[in-house]
């Protein structure tokens, strides 16, 4: 079985076994579910949380009506979601210090919805969105596919009220247990990214043809720095000068060491196969490091067969990755849900392994 299909089916079955009974018990067989998701649109992995979760609900509760309270506001991403899920409603807007929604769209959604669902993320990103829901409605909510590394008293009080808490790895379950939170309503469910089921084959094929990239005769390579420099474009990050200096120092220390390994794999691929390489981003900031860390240092004979892609959306990325021979990535997010079973993926854990051994041995 193709790896991506196995992961997708496993996710649908594993999460659905608990997700559906818990949600229907709290509502009905045909609930109106309000999702909070879409944390940021500068990362195709984070964009993918949302269509993945919508797909899961479609599979497991086909009679449900979905309202998406999208935290980030990007017309381009909203248009993509509506293209694949025209039946959903998307609302935007915040709330005041008392957690009262600031517009009528959100207020009406609160009235219509039976259940509130916090989507996948690196933490309880939408905690205040849950607080707004509870303050205004007192109706049930659940949490799907999150990581919980730290739980402060305020978050604990919120988590205690959840109908279910599904974490995207078992380490978070242990964190919950150590904080006195346990029960049958707490379980593992993979990140919703794994259920991605959208593709933009036309855009992908047009791009590949225009750049002479043949199916299964090119590889994709995705760079990244040790720490994402959010402070460069996100004023809300509120990083201290000390934190910025620490992050910049670590990134500067390791960026050449890390990317030298990826360049080694690129050189091996080009010289052993004569085929091309596509350098592509998961996050927007990676457009700024492609030339410096991957392309410019390459030997001339290799660099002539290397091309790059600007920032894209996950449906096109999925279609391109599916046609690649392999995806080599320092990002551990989006490639997992897109790649065929035979792809060589440098996940975060594999990346650490190669860092320790100081050797990258590509499997081609």
* 230 occurs within a structural domain: yes
* 135 occurs within a structural domain: yes
Query: pLDDT tens digits, residue range 57-114?
Result: 998 899 999 999 999 999 999 999 999 999 999 999 999 999 999 999 999 999 999 9
Judge if 153 and 248 occupy the same domain: no
Judge if 226 and 330 occupy the same domain: yes
Judge if 175 and 212 occupy the same domain: no
* 15 occurs within a structural domain: yes
Judge if 27 and 172 occupy the same domain: yes
What CA–CA distance (Å, rounded) separates 53 from 143?
Answer: 12
Which range of residues forms the domain containing residue 79? 3-195
Query: Tokens in use for 68?
Result: 């998406």
* 363 occurs within a structural domain: no
Last residue of a domain, one of 170, 195, 220: 195
Judge if 215 and 118 occupy the same domain: no
Q: How many domains does the chain have?
A: 2
Output the pLDDT for position 276.
98
**Hunting for tokens 């993918």 — which residue is that?**
48
Judge if 210 and 280 occupy the same domain: yes
Residue 25 has pLDDT above 70, yes or no: no
Residue 16 has pLDDT above 60, yes or no: no
CA atoms within 13 A on the CB side of 325: 17
What CA–CA distance (Å, rounded) separates 282 from 42?
Answer: 8
Last residue of a domain, one of 195, 230, 252: 195
* 304 occurs within a structural domain: yes
Judge if 231 and 82 occupy the same domain: no
pLDDT-derived band at 193, boundaries 50, 70, 90: confident
The helix-helix angle for 44-60 and 75-84 (nearest 10°) equals: 30
Judge if 186 and 264 occupy the same domain: no
Judge if 20 and 112 occupy the same domain: yes
Judge if 154 and 211 occupy the same domain: no
* 126 occurs within a structural domain: yes
Judge if 117 and 99 occupy the same domain: yes
User: At 101, which CATH number?
Assistant: 3.40.50.11720
* 364 occurs within a structural domain: no
Output the pLDDT for position 238.
78
Query: pLDDT tens digits, residue range 218-252?
Result: 999 999 999 999 888 776 667 899 999 999 999 99
User: At 338, which CATH number?
Assistant: 3.40.50
* 362 occurs within a structural domain: no
Burial of 104 from C-beta contacts in 10 A (0-12 / 13-18 / 19+) = exposed
Judge if 57 and 12 occupy the same domain: yes
């Amino acid at each position: 079985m193709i790896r991506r299909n196995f992961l997708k089916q496993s996710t649908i079955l594993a999460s659905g076994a608990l997700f559906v009974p818990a949600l229907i018990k709290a509502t009905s067989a045909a609930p109106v579910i309000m999702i909070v998701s879409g944390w940021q649109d500068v990362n195709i992995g984070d964009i993918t949380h949302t269509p993945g979760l919508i797909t899961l609900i479609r599979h497991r509760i086909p009679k449900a009506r979905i309202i998406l309270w999208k935290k980030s506001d990007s017309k381009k991403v909203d248009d993509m979601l509506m293209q694949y899920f025209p039946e959903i409603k998307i609302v935007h807007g915040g709330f005041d210090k008392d957690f009262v929604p600031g517009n009528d769209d959100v207020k009406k959604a609160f009235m219509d919805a039976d259940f509130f669902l916090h989507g996948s993320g690196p933490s309880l990103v939408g905690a205040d969105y849950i607080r707004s829901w509870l303050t205004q409605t007192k109706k049930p909510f659940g949490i799907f596919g999150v990581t919980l590394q730290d739980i402060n008293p305020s978050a604990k009080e919120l988590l205690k009220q959840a109908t279910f808490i599904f974490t995207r790895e078992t380490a978070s379950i242990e964190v919950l247990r150590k904080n006195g939170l346990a029960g049958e309503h707490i379980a593992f469910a993979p990140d919703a990214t794994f259920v991605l089921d959208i593709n933009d084959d036309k855009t992908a094929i047009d791009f590949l043809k225009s750049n002479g990239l043949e199916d299964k005769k090119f590889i994709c390579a995705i760079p990244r720095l040790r720490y994402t420099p959010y402070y460069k474009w996100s004023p809300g990050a509120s990083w201290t000068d000390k934190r910025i200096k620490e992050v910049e120092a670590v990134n500067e220390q390791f960026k050449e060491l890390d990317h030298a390994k990826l360049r080694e794999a690129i050189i091996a691929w080009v010289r052993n196969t004569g085929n091309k390489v596509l350098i592509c981003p998961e996050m927007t900031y990676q457009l700024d490091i492609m030339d410096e860390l991957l392309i410019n240092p390459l030997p001339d004979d290799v660099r002539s067969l290397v091309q790059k892609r600007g920032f894209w959306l996950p449906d096109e990325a999925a279609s391109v990755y599916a046609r690649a021979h392999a995806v080599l990535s320092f990002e551990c997010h989006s490639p997992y849900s897109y790649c065929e079973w035979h792809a060589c993926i440098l996940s975060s854990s594999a990346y650490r392994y190669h860092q320790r051994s100081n050797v990258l041995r590509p499997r081609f």
